[in-house]
Structure 1
Amino acid sequence: MGSPFALRNTITSGIVSSAQRGSQELGLSNSNMDYIQTDATIDVSGFSIYDGEVIGINTMKVTAGISFAIPSDRVKLFLNQAAKKKTSKVGDLSVKPRYIGVMMLTLTPSIIAELKMRDSSFPNVNHGILIHKVIPSSPASRAGMLPGDIVLEINGVMVNTSEEIYKAVRSSDTINMVVQRGNQLYKLQVTPEYIE
């Protein structure tokens, strides 16, 4: 239940297809995180409530009918750890983290099959990383990357998981990507930037 786009009293089914969708299965870098997969329609953000309690924070919408939420117990753990770090002394941070400004999802065979079932125009791929959000004015945006692009290669090597993109962002000053957009292949060059 909610009020998306200022429409009051909206109700969707919000069926939970999995309460423990592993991050490795989704190709995300945090290998010990389980996500809640739901078909609830979400816009920018939100949360799920059961019996008056928050059970998950919506974090990723892949397409209509496929969304993921972080379980609330993991959010509490993160907030507690962040509070502890804030009160402790800051050590020497010699390595700054870098970013390219995308949200992405590893395309497993089951996710590809589900996306093709929901959208017959989904590209005919058997691997890759789906870019489902590009942050405006980010390195990826400036390089011409668009939501819906599928990254097939990085620096001349075929990619199968989003962890490979994370590694390239950490270790490469320039990333040459081959992406599929619809039925076309494009070569993009992305330069990771340091997080301020």
Structure 2
Amino acid sequence: MARPIQFFLALTSPWTYLATPRVRALAAEHRVPLQFRPYDILSVFQRNGIKAVGDRPVPVQQNRLNELRRWRAHLGIELNLQPKHFPVNPTLSGKMLVSALAGPGDAPEFAWRVMRACWAEERDISDEATLSAIAADCGFDGAELLAAVQRGDADSGFAKNTEDAIAGNVFGAPTFLFDGELYWGQDRIEFLSRAVEAAA
């Protein structure tokens, strides 16, 4: 079996939103398993002394917006630079994705639609009703998926992803681990692609 791409992500990240269609296409083209691994990015930030977006110096924040604008145009993808519901806590959406990955519906599509809801549709992806509705659109029982998270069913999986992220020196999103190498950022997908091709 082909070696997998481990995809460490936070559904609130615009960079993950920009990366997801391309890494899914890359994995499909080369028939490589793509493992979605939502993790607690806020605790990883804290562990590594990385400030949340709103706490970073103004020039850094401005450069982030400039880069998002450039990549939006380059990729031709719909993206609100400053969406109405951002920042929001990523924990609920991350845990719902953990549960979705063990369920009968289309978990990768759920991940994509959650990100699109934030970055293109001005929806609040920390809202239970919003996430349940998106889950239902992707073939899940949205209420049951939410209930599973509320019961704590996703806690161990979310924690394991976070532990593995820390062990693998993951510090941001998106991050891809493939064949022992770490690729951080949606702008490193070209290098990831070369590695996948070389391993084929």
Superposition TM-score, scaled by structure 1 size: 0.25
Question: With CA pairs under 8 Å and 6+ residues apart, which has the higher RCO, 1 or 2?
Answer: 2
Give the helix-richer structure, 1 or 2. Answer: 2
Superposition TM-score, scaled by structure 2 size: 0.25
Give the strand-richer structure, 1 or 2. Answer: 1
